[in-house]
Structure 1
Amino acid sequence: MTKLYSLFAGITTYTEVKAVAENQIIQIEGYSYDRYVVHQITHDKYGYHYHLINLRTLDMQQSEIIKPLSQKFGIGMYYDESNIEFMPEKEVAELYVKAKAKEDAEQEKERQENERRKAVREIGRKWLNENLPQDAKAIIVARLKADESDSQTDYYASRVTRTVILGFSKHKRDIFSEMRKYASNFEETAHLAIYNEDYEHREKYSMGAGYYLGESKYSGWIIEKSPIYDRKNKIDEFAYVAGCSDGIYITNSNGNNTSIENEKEPTLQFESDNLSFEIVAYSEKAIALFGDTKEIKDLLKAMGGKFNPRLTHNEEKQAGWIFSKTKREELQTILNLNK
């Protein structure tokens, strides 16, 4: 006789003994307390299998263990032996038709998404085969992190929600100045092009996050190098990113040492409502705002500005705000500069 033993509950379940009947209502305890109906019971050498339909979501799933509510121990499927409920067979049949249609639609949607991703990967694989330099030793990438930490349980984690390719490197060394050089390729990482010691993270130790440039490893954009040890495997790894229409931000200026000083827009100094400001071109794709910004910090933040207390201006450290170069006219308008 097949049996399952719970170490935590100290209970043995004999799967050859039928626990419930078809069309019977059961419930889950622990996650959502949803109710299910048993629409089918099958049997094989491992015992009975109960095929369930969620009465709220119409999701279908399977369980091998369903216990009486009086034996409740933690999360699991239970039935109330003091108030056994059944659903009319006709209603269960109608419910199954709806649940199966939902399952089929979700599977078709998943199939189409897999086909789309496959096509995108083919585009990206072709692009990388043609454009990844033969002497490249690493790919410099930016990753957008989403915080999934739970401070109440001391759980700290994050996930990557987006990755973009900023450039290629001829070596595997982690050099922050090189990462800053490529940060200006992408508007959303342009603020990382400005030197800030607090953005330089060196965590090459057990359980560390490696070398990365950014405010936090849990949220926001970071820049890091992905070494190439096997060209084919690395192309496969980044094929989807390269195939996305917004996955590559590479400019020709990264490949040479020409200065961009001559391309900078002029510095603007102005006064607005007794507040003094100065806008300067800070890098190829970023501008900086200095001055009496404390009273308008919420406005600047809403515009996408990044505050940095250690910017370099007039050969000294000053606090200021970093914006994408595309925000220059908007800044001038909002701060009443165009009058």
Structure 2
Amino acid sequence: MSRFDYIQSAKRVLDIEVQALKHIEHYFDDQFAAVCDTILNHAGKVIVMGMGKSGHIGKKIAATLASTGTSAFFVHPGEAAHGDLGMVEAKDLVIAISNSGESDEILGLFPVFKRLGIRTVSMTGKPESSMAKLSDFHLQITVPKEACPLGLAPTSSSTATLVMGDALAVALLEARGFNEQDFALSHPGGALGRKLLLKLSDIMHSGDALPTVSADTLVRDALLEISDKGLGMTTIIDEHQHLLGLFTDGDLRRILDKRIDIHTTKIGEVMTENPTTTSPHLLAAEGLHLMQSKNINGLILVEQGKLAGQDKVVGALNMHDLLKAGVV
């Protein structure tokens, strides 16, 4: 028995769906622009509805709209008929998805939409369908054929619906001037949120956790401070918290190679003057870039003084802190 050609089948699906997507380019028309204008200028939420596969696509469209600046959520039509319609207000706009445009569960809700004065957008493959005729706006998603050889399973049509939804979301995003900062605010727990929201002040060691010694401290005692605070370094400051220098584990190795006596040498004699510093208000991702560009493992955070030499130390961190915060 010969083996079925799975790869050829997959390529056929790809070709059919690519052609379907090229086909829906014709439906980015005045109706599409009118829907965008209406969503952009209306005061309420966008409610997305769909049954079956259209419902699955609708959930993704609602999620994409919500994460790109358009207040939106998905309501299951079946649940809407049994109480969930209470979540929909007169000022909202409904996007109803059905390839056939004849979904009984959705059609049964249109009298309520009309009574409440809710504006409706249908997204169907049949402009002559009941849903298309009942809606204030219609977005066409007709495709030449489904990738399913039986012509039954939603394949090309569901892909076209998803792209229409993405096109809406992105067009609205651009019209609003929605930027990376806005996106991060709706994704605070993700990697992008950490990249665009987390500041060095959020993860720095400060107060009693900040390693500090005076310039007169013996190296041996400075090592105790380094060990106690666990950052692999200590700042050297004056009585006003002004930064004088830095001493790190790497500096220790270098002075030991020179056979400098740590029991009699003061830290001010071997510290690194003018170390790399930055503001605690810097984004953590930018702090990481600074450390990588300077090839350093620790960073001192200062509030800049009016005069040279008056930078006040307020915090410190190392690469491990950035790793724990998920920035690395």
The alignment's TM-score, normalised by the length of structure 1, stands at 0.22
Structure showing the higher strand proportion among its residues: 1
Q: Flag the structure with larger Rg.
A: 2
Larger helix proportion of the pair: 2
What is the TM-score of this pair, normalised by structure 2?
A: 0.23
